[in-house]
């Protein structure tokens, strides 16, 4: 299927490249991976063309800015990465757009940087790599806390999507099992926790037009959403939302197929969130574009529905001016 749009697609500057090393295989694959993630030109375009992807929204790799303990350095890194991404995107605006990297260590600076990227560069929103660290490795900072209400107010005012992307989890309960901390489990578990915290914080009562995206077929939330709401009827334990948590999720979240090319998982996600809130993506270059595209293209469903997931939902969500 041609004309697909993808937007959990990663790019790196040299300064953040090493952050990706632990998620890539042996040295021979690392050499290939470096060429892929540093490129925003011929290599990536060839991969897109081969797999029917017309347009890609690109974001800085993880954890990058979110792991910089010094706030001033985080602000500087975000700005330099966004400037470079804007420079590269401007060479092929028919094929690429950008997501802003944000220094969430400082909510006011993050809001200002998002505004700059939207107004000056035409970026399509932000992608933030999970929780942030500031001054010291612990504790992790999640964005449901009151200090971030002003930031979310600016996101709401700008009316752009916010992609909540995973980063490595450092739970003490994973001790002795480092494989649990990243993409096999910890990525999804921590992002799901973060998303549920946002749902349960009253954020979407304050800013009902917020649009949050999570990847990997919803990080397990669609599978568990019924039980979450069912059990909270009996044991709310301090929940402050005005409606059931699931209502916020279904009204304020979008999910992508990135890195989860499982038909049963897709069918579950689709039945829970609906055709208008699930969108195609790859997670390149951490995932193989051909795996993502060939799996999606082979799905047995109406072509009109596939077109929504692969293309028209994204055009609407990001207000893309594609022919």
Which residue numbers are catalytic?
283
What is the SS3 assignment for 162-182?
Answer: EEEECCCCCCHHHCCCHHHHC
β pairing state of 132-134 and 136-141: antiparallel
C-alpha span between 101 and 122 (Å, rounded): 14
C-alpha span between 318 and 196 (Å, rounded): 23
How many CB atoms are closer than 10 A to CB 271? 10
Non-local CB neighbours of 149 within 8 Å, separated by 6+ positions: 203, 206
On whether the CB atoms of residues 214 and 195 are closer than 8 A, the answer is yes
On whether the CB atoms of residues 37 and 20 are closer than 8 A, the answer is yes
H or E element, residue 194: helix 186-200
H or E element, residue 132: strand 132-134
Helix (H, G, I), strand (E, B) or coil at 321: coil
């Amino acid at each position: 299927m041609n004309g697909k749009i993808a937007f959990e697609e990663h790019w790196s500057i040299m300064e953040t490249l090493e952050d990706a090393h632990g998620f890539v295989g042996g040295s021979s694959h690392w050499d290939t991976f470096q060429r892929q993630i540093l490129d925003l030109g011929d290599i990536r375009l060839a991969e897109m063309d081969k797999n029917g992807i017309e347009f890609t929204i690109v974001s800085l790799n993880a954890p990058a800015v979110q792991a910089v303990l010094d706030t001033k350095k985080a602000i500087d890194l975000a700005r330099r990465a966004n400037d470079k991404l804007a420079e590269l995107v401007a060479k092929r605006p028919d094929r690429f757009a950008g997501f802003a990297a944000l220094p969430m260590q400082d909510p006011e600076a993050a809001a200002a940087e998002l505004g700059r990227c939207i107004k000056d560069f035409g970026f399509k929103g932000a992608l933030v790599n999970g929780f942030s660290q500031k001054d010291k490795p612990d504790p992790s900072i999640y964005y449901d806390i009151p200090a971030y209400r002003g930031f979310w107010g600016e996101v709401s005012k700008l009316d752009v999507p916010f992609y909540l992307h995973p980063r490595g989890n450092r739970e003490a309960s994973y001790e002795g099992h480092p494989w649990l901390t990243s993409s096999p489990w910890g990525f999804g578990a921590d992002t799901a926790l973060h998303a549920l915290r946002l749902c349960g914080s009253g954020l979407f009562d304050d800013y009902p037009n917020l649009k949050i995206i999570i990847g990997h077929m919803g990080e397990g939330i669609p599978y568990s959403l019924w039980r979450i709401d069912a059990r909270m009827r009996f044991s709310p334990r301090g929940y402050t939302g005005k409606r059931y948590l699931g209502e916020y999720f279904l009204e304020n979240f979008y999910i992508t197929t990135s890195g989860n090319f499982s038909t049963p998982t897709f069918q579950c996600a689709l039945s829970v969130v609906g055709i208008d809130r699930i969108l195609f993506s790859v997670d390149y270059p951490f995932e193989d574009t051909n795996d993502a595209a060939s799996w999606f293209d082979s799905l047995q469903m109406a072509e009109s529905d596939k077109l929504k997931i692969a293309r028209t939902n994204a055009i609407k969500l990001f207000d893309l001016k594609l022919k």
